[in-house]
Amino acid sequence: MKKVCVLGLGYIGLPTASMFASHGVQVVGVDINLSVIETLRRGQIHIEENGLQERMQIALSSGNLRVETQPEPADVFIISVPTPIQADKSSDMRAVVSATKAILPHLRPGNLVILESTSPPGATQNLVRPILEGNGLRAGKDFKLAYSPERVLPGQILRELVENARVIGGIDEESAKAGRDLYLHFVKGEIVLTTAITAEMVKLMENTFRDVNIALANEFALLADQMGFDVWEAITIANRHPRVQILRPGPGVGGHCIAVDPWFLVEASPDKTKLIRQARLVNDGMPGYVLSRAKRILEGVQAPIIACLGLTYKADVDDIRESPAVEVLEQLMLAGFLVRAHDPHVVPPDVLASHWANSVEEAVHDADLAILLVDHAEFRGLPPEALASMRTPRLLDTRQCLDQTLWKNVSGYEVL
Ligand code: SAJ
C-alpha cells in the first residue's frame, strides 16, 4: 500500500488526490493556502467541478485522504501546482520550484516524484531534478522522477482522469514504469510510456494544436465580417468535407491552459514558433473585436447600457482565469460604456459588485445591448422574450449558442 503526497490542491491536484484516496491509496493533500485547507477540512470544495464534491467526501470519509499545509514523508510525491505566465509571456515556475524544495527534506531512497504541472520543455530534467538532487540523492539511481501531464477537460475532469490515455515520461525507463504502476490505481485509459521531454512536449503540442485551430476559426469570422458572409454556415458546410474540422469562433480563448501553454513554446524557441505566436495574438485580439462590434451596433445611441451575459472562460464552469469574457467587460468599461454583468456560475469579485446583476432579467432591464459571452446551459434556451424589458432589444451572440430557429430572424439579433 503506497502513501502519496499531492502538492497543490487546485483543479488538477484535488481531483487527483480524491481519486487516489477513493481507490484505496493513503493520500496527504498539501496546499499552502490555509483557507483552501480549512474549506476542505469542513468537507467543502473551493472550486466547481462535476462530481468532485461527492468524490472528495467519499475520499475523506474513507479515512484515506488528509489535507495539510506542509508535505510529509511519502512513497510518491505529485507536484500539481500552477505554472502561469507573467506579463511578458514568460513562464512563472516559482510554485514548482518551491513545491520541489518543500519535498526535499522528505525525499528518501526509493521514492517516486512526478511533475504534473504543465511546464516548459526540459523542466523535469533541468529544473526539478537539480533541486531534488540537492541533498545528495541521485535521480534514476536513488529515486525515480517522471513527468505526467494532466489532459482532462474542466467540467469533465473526474471522468477523463479515468478514461483518457495517460502519458508518463520518465527520466529513465524505471521511472516511467513506476509512474505507470501508480496511475494504474484508477486510470482505465491507455498508459503510454516515453521520455520526460516528450511527455512535456505532448502536453504543450495538444493545447497549441487547439489554440492554432481556434485562431483559424476566429480569423474566418473576421473575414466573414469584412466580406459579408455567414461564417457559421460556411463552417458547417466546410466541415462536411471528410478531412476538415474547423472549430468555433468566439470572443477569444481563455482558461489557464490553452491561453498559456503555447507561450511556453514561444519562450523556448522564439525563432521557430512564428505561427504559434501569431495564433495567440489572433485569439488575444478577439475581445477587442467584440468591443468594435458593440461600438458599431450602438453608434448614435446616447449613454448606452450593455449587459454582459457570462464571464467564465467557457461554458458550465466557474473559472474566470484568463477569461476573454472578463477582458471584453474590462474593455467595454475602459471605452466608457455603462455595463452590467451576470453569470450564474460566478461569485462576483468585489470590483464588479456595483455592476452585478443576479439574473438575465435584471442584467438586460433598460439595457441597449446584451452580449452573450459564454454558452452556459442556463443561457442556451433563452427565448427572444427574455429581452422584452430592454430599452431596445439587441443581442450579440458571440458563441452562436442560441436556438437559431427561434432567433435567426429576430430584429436586433446578431452573431459574431
Ligand atoms: N474555444 C473556442 N472555440 C472552440 C473551442 C474552444 O473559442 O471551438 C475556447 C473556449 O471557449 C475556451 C478556450 O477555447 O475559452 C479553451 O477551451 P477548451 O474547452 O478548448 O479547453 P480547456 O482549456 O477547458 O481544456 C484544455 C483541453 N485541451 C485540449 O482539448 C487539447 C484539456 O484536454 C486540457 O487538459 C486542458 O486544456 C489543460 O488542462 O491543459
Tell me the pLDDT tens digit for each residue of 110-128.
Answer: 999 999 999 999 999 999 9
Ligand 1 nearest-atom number relative to CA 206: 31
Amino acid 180: pLDDT:
97
Lowest average pLDDT, out of 56-60, 74-78, 160-164, 199-203, goes to 56-60
pLDDT band at 2 (very low <50, low <70, confident <90, very high): confident
Query: How far away, in angstroms, is 18 Cα from ligand 1 center?
Result: 23
> Is there a contact between 317 and 345 (Cβ–Cβ < 8 Å)?
yes
pTM of the predicted structure, to 2 decimals? 0.93
d(CA 350, CA 359): 18
Residues linked to residue 309 through DSSP beta bridges, in sequence order: 342, 372
Residue of the CA atom closest to atom 37 of ligand 1:
257
Average pLDDT over every residue of 321-331? 95
The candidate with the shortest Cα–Cα distance to 129, out of 113, 105, 148, 109, is 113
CB atoms within 10 A of CB 259: 22
Residue 203 annotated in active site: yes
**125: Cα within 13 Å, side-chain hemisphere:** 12
Amino acid 350: pLDDT:
87
Residue of the CA atom closest to atom 27 of ligand 1:
153
Residue of the CA atom closest to atom 25 of ligand 1:
153
Location of each CATH 3.40.50.720 domain in the chain: 3-200, 285-415
> Three-class SS of residue 304?
coil
Amino acid 323: pLDDT:
95
d(CA 84, CA 292): 29
User: Would you give the DSSP letter of residue 47?
Assistant: S
Query: How far away, in angstroms, is 258 Cα from ligand 1 center?
Result: 6
Average pLDDT over every residue of 361-380? 97
**Fold for the domain defined by 285-415:** Rossmann fold (3.40.50)
Residue of the CA atom closest to atom 32 of ligand 1:
153
Q: pLDDT (tens digit, 9 = 90+) per residue, 192-237?
A: 999 999 999 999 999 999 999 999 999 999 999 999 999 999 999 9
Amino acid 239: pLDDT:
98
Region 3-200: CATH code: 3.40.50.720
CB atoms within 10 A of CB 32: 16
Give yes or no for residue 1 having a pLDDT over 70: no
d(CA 362, CA 354): 13
Query: How far away, in angstroms, is 199 Cα from ligand 1 center?
Result: 19
The candidate with the shortest Cα–Cα distance to 112, out of 3, 204, 242, 250, is 3
Cell numbers 474566470 correspond to what residue? 320
Ligand 1 nearest-atom number relative to CA 257: 40
Ligand 1 nearest-atom number relative to CA 283: 7
Query: How far away, in angstroms, is 126 Cα from ligand 1 center?
Result: 28
